[in-house]
Amino acid sequence: MKPPEATQGTLSGVGDPLPAVSVCPEFEVITLRKRRDFLALNHGGRWGTKGFLLQGRPRGDDETDLRVGFTCSKKVGNAVARNRAKRRLREIARLGLPELGRAGWDYCLIGKREVTAGRDFAQMQNDLGYALRKLHEKSDR
């Protein structure tokens, strides 16, 4: 699918219009949807932070895309709290994984009770960077 193009011209006002969304040329981020993919992540590494738990593993295939899943159990709260927590996890993954994640890896972000929905967003982004560094260091050993 081609991203929509800006209709008001470019930044300089001359030339081709710029795309309205940014595209990461290195790899594509795909959302995990199948249960077997989530179960396979249980055998990989994990790293806990104050805001969420991160699971990750290299897939071992030749694919260069990065896949990510999101989970919040009923312990997180009612449906409103779970959906808010998942929205926040999706956003920090959208902002952080293209730069910090590794191609060919699967990740799962798991929300925590009463923390994921209320934690400061900048702190959660820092948590993601910290957890990814630790997870990758652990797997490199």
Strand partners of residue 31: 68
- HSE on the CB side for 87, CA within 13 Å? 8
Structure confidence at residue 7 (pLDDT) = 52
Structure confidence at residue 141 (pLDDT) = 83
CATH topology for the 29-140 domain = Ribosomal Protein S5; domain 2 (3.30.230)
Structure confidence at residue 62 (pLDDT) = 81
Structure confidence at residue 10 (pLDDT) = 46
With the CA atoms of 104, 125, 130 and 74 taken in that order, what torsion angle do they form, in degrees rounded to the nearest 10? Answer: -80
Helix, strand, coil percentages in the chain from 3-state DSSP, rounded to 5 = 35, 20, 45
Structure confidence at residue 114 (pLDDT) = 87
Structure confidence at residue 64 (pLDDT) = 84
pLDDT, averaged per 10 consecutive residues of the chain (141 residues), comes to: 55 50 60 94 94 94 90 95 95 94 94 93 96 93 83
Structure confidence at residue 131 (pLDDT) = 97
Structure confidence at residue 2 (pLDDT) = 62
Helix (H, G, I), strand (E, B) or coil at 58: strand
pLDDT digits 0-9 by tens, 26-52: 567 899 999 999 999 999 999 999 999
Structure confidence at residue 96 (pLDDT) = 95
Distance between CA 127 and CA 110 in Å, rounded?
Answer: 13
For the chain, which residues make up each domain, given as ranges?
29-140
Q: In Å, how far from its chain's centre is CA 93?
A: 2
